[in-house]
Amino acid sequence: MFSFRTTSLTEQPDLVLRSGKIALLCNQSSWHPERGEYLIETLHKKGVLKRVFIPEHGLFGELQDQVKLDEGSVYESMAPGCEFVSLYGSSEESLSVKREKLEDLDALIIDIQDVGARYYTYPVTIFNLFKVLKAESVNLPVYVIDRVNPMGRQIEGTMLKEGYSSFIGETGILHRHGLTLGELTNYFYNEINAKFPLHIISYVAESVNREMLPWSISPSPNIPGLFTCHFYSGQCLWEGTNVSEGRGTTRPFEIFGAPFIDALADFNSKGGYENWNDPENPISDPSVYIRWTRFIPQFHKFSGEVCSGFQLHPVPGKQYHALAHNLRIMRFIKESCEGFSFRHGKYEAGNDKRAIELLCGDPLLVDYLEGNTDWDSVREEMKHEEQKWIRKAKRVLLYDDQLFRCK
């Protein structure tokens, strides 16, 4: 059973929300300005909160990427008497909820901010939860408080291919999908032909979406603002390389670099280009300004070392295909800088492929980065896949505005 609700959570007439045993999947983005408190606190005061599920990065986004949380009891002071369960522990089994943590509940509420790219792990956590409900035949009503997608309705990329799914992406999802979290959960619900009750609460109904911008509270430690979301679908690919994606700085996913990129310092003068934004420059793009820079990460890759690299700045009013641009940049750096390499070894739970393969999710994109296919083939494939995704995702849209491709 599916329903789309146009009144806020507090206005829902469902008896289970007023007197049942409720679990909540959330993080610090579940703070509601009209009440001045987290939803955890609101439900605890009402005496209905039994359990809190915690995604990657912890309840307050205090944990960096891939930092495991095995014990949720550190948060118990927020809601004494409630159980806090981590869904990002040291074992792969911890990524899925156990049946016994669901069957004693009357309802589950999901209140969390997504960023609109398939690499983001919160939607995968929700999908894992849905698969448990389906497999174990737990008829638990799920309420999703929908949020605005900070990346908007623009889409990018190719759909994740069979054999490439992991904790950073489910099969069939586009790199930049253009859906709200409610629509994405609706997509997952339909994909597995689920039967448990799913209720999406419109983002229009919740005051948090009217009174706060979707990036006002950082949903994770390295998504500090809107510009980060603007570039994330492309810049996240650096995680699969030995180039810093800007973690350890105040501008992650906007700046990128490495000590060995200093080899490009005189590239323009030697190549006869006016600057990095010269239309003939191999990494220029009319939708962004590219600025040469240096930075010192305080943690993560090259911690404490001087890195040469670039910062991207959006050109106001321009549509920008972040994935397409960064694919071109990455291949350029791979071919121009001797120290460049792809990250090796297992990267994420659920798949043994290299990080760059999981992030690309498509062997054609990997072939391009490794110099085994041409850009025209990639561009045509992305165009075809984006058109296909628009048709595929149309059935789960809940609002009037439509998905669109970057022209």
Distances (CA, A) of 305 to 15, 241, 257, 340: 57, 17, 11, 16
On whether both 210 and 339 belong to a single domain, the answer is: no
On whether both 253 and 282 belong to a single domain, the answer is: yes
Question: Is 43 a domain residue?
Answer: yes
Is the separation of the CB atoms in 169 and 118 below 8 Å? yes
Question: Is 400 a domain residue?
Answer: no
Length of the chain: 407
CATH of the domain at 354: 3.90.1150.140
Q: Which two tokens stand for residue 310?
A: 């670039």
pLDDT digits (tens, 9 = 90+) for 323-375: 999 999 999 999 999 999 999 998 988 899 999 999 999 999 999 999 999 99
Is pLDDT of 215 > 80? no
Mean pLDDT, rounded, for 59-79: 93
Least-confidence region, from 11-25, 129-143, 199-213: 199-213
149: left (phi over 0), alpha (psi -120 to 50) or beta: beta
Q: Which two tokens stand for residue 264?
A: 């490009």
On whether both 65 and 109 belong to a single domain, the answer is: yes
Where is the domain boundary, 219, 238, 265? Answer: 219
Cα-trace Rg, the chain: 22
Question: Is 183 a domain residue?
Answer: yes
- How crowded is residue 44: how many other Cβ atoms within 10 Å of its Cβ? 21
On whether both 195 and 269 belong to a single domain, the answer is: no
Query: Nearest Cα to 237, choosing from 336, 132, 334?
Result: 334
Is the separation of the CB atoms in 315 and 325 below 8 Å? no
On whether both 302 and 363 belong to a single domain, the answer is: yes
CATH of the domain at 129: 3.40.50.12170
On whether both 198 and 245 belong to a single domain, the answer is: no
On whether both 245 and 380 belong to a single domain, the answer is: yes
On whether both 206 and 280 belong to a single domain, the answer is: no
Question: Is 12 a domain residue?
Answer: yes
- Amino acid identity, position 271: G
Question: Is 367 a domain residue?
Answer: yes
Mean pLDDT, rounded, for 6-28: 95
pLDDT value of residue 226? 81
Question: Is 406 a domain residue?
Answer: no
On whether both 212 and 247 belong to a single domain, the answer is: no
Where is the domain boundary, 219, 253, 285? Answer: 219
Cα–Cα dist 3/191, whole Å? 17
What SS3 class is residue 49?
strand
pLDDT digits (tens, 9 = 90+) for 263-277: 999 999 999 999 999
On whether both 16 and 127 belong to a single domain, the answer is: yes
- What order do you get walking across the sheet with 198-201 strand by strand? 2-5, 198-201, 142-145, 107-111, 22-26, 49-54, 83-86
- Based on the structure, what is the number of domains in the chain? 2
Q: What percent of the chain has pLDDT over 90?
A: 92
Where is the domain boundary, 192, 219, 246? Answer: 219
Is the separation of the CB atoms in 78 and 72 below 8 Å? no
Query: Nearest Cα to 125, choosing from 161, 82, 92?
Result: 92
pLDDT digits (tens, 9 = 90+) for 228-286: 999 999 999 999 999 999 999 999 999 999 999 999 999 999 999 999 999 999 999 99
Cα–Cα dist 208/156, whole Å? 27
Beta bridge partners of 312: 290
Is pLDDT of 227 > 90? no
Cα–Cα dist 192/184, whole Å? 13
What domain range includes position 8? 2-219
Is the separation of the CB atoms in 405 and 383 below 8 Å? yes
Question: Is 122 a domain residue?
Answer: yes
Question: Is 402 a domain residue?
Answer: no
pLDDT value of residue 348? 86
Chain centre distance of CA 59: 16
Mean pLDDT of the chain: 96
pLDDT value of residue 214? 74
Is pLDDT of 293 > 80? yes
